[in-house]
Amino acid sequence: MKILAIGANGVIGKAVINNLEQDHEVIAVGHSHGKYIVDIESKESIQALYDSVGKIDAIISMVGNGQMGSLEEMPDAGYQTVFSNKVMGQVNLVRIGLNYLNEGGSITLTSGQASNQPMPNTSAIAMGVAAVNAFVASTALELNDSKRINAVSPRMVKETMDLWGIDSSSGIAAADVATHYRASIESQKTGLVFDAV
């Protein structure tokens, strides 16, 4: 399969590409560097990306900025960041990308466990990941030409926790998260959230 992997430079992105490039053609897309780059908050940038790569069999989005903060201290801009990036960024990757997705192709977005396992100071992130999951479930009912859409919802990744200098014993390895993206694109399932926990 020809797979477009957006968010390739992150911890999860690198693990997903390492997993999939063994037996698929993977086009890696970053935000600021690499052969292909995209600003997911810009529909024009998204359009230009798809124009440059042409028809594809699968789209994987491993993107989405979040902001942590208490309910009292979080500014409107913190919620807007999550909505503009994590939610609408991925929504527009789908809306535009469907025109480039081959029949029987799949799209896999990334949500997260913040809405399933609430923690203090994550209300903005929880709102965003819940929105992504709801979008996937509803959009799956509207797709034609055997096209599919799912989401992967990872808990905190060990490697990221290590970078932050916090105890990573409760985290999941990025390589293990990557197997859920493979399952999403290689199965015939649609409208599902793959919990990477």
Order of all β-strands in the sheet with 36-37: 36-37, 25-30, 2-6, 56-61, 101-110, 148-154, 193-196
DSSP strand E in 24-84: where?
25-30, 36-37, 56-61
Query: What's the Cα-to-Cα distance from 19 to each of 37, 44, 91, 170, 177, rounded to whole Å?
Result: 21, 30, 25, 23, 10
Strand-pair partners of 182? none
Instruction: Quickly tell me which residue has 């998204």 as its tokens.
Output: 46
Domain ranges of the chain: 2-195
pLDDT at 123: 94
pLDDT at 66: 85
CB atoms within 10 A of CB 173: 15
pLDDT tens string for the chain (197 positions)?
999 999 999 999 999 999 999 999 999 999 999 999 999 999 999 999 999 999 999 999 999 888 889 999 999 999 999 999 999 999 999 999 999 999 999 999 999 999 998 889 999 999 999 999 999 999 999 999 999 999 999 999 999 989 989 999 999 999 999 999 999 999 999 999 999 99
Using alpha carbons, select from 39, 26, 149 the residue that is nearest to residue 94: 149
| Strands 56-61 and 101-110, bridge-based pairing | parallel
The arrangement of secondary structure in 2-195, i.e. its CATH architecture, is 3-Layer(aba) Sandwich (3.40)
Q: Give the separation between CA 185 and CA 162, rounded to whole angstroms.
A: 29
pLDDT at 2: 99
Global pTM?
0.96
Take residue 125 and report the two structure tokens written for it: 């992130």
pLDDT at 67: 87
Query: What's the Cα-to-Cα distance from 14 to each of 26, 60, 160, rounded to whole Å?
Result: 11, 12, 12
Q: Give the separation between CA 101 and CA 193, rounded to whole angstroms.
A: 20
pLDDT at 119: 86
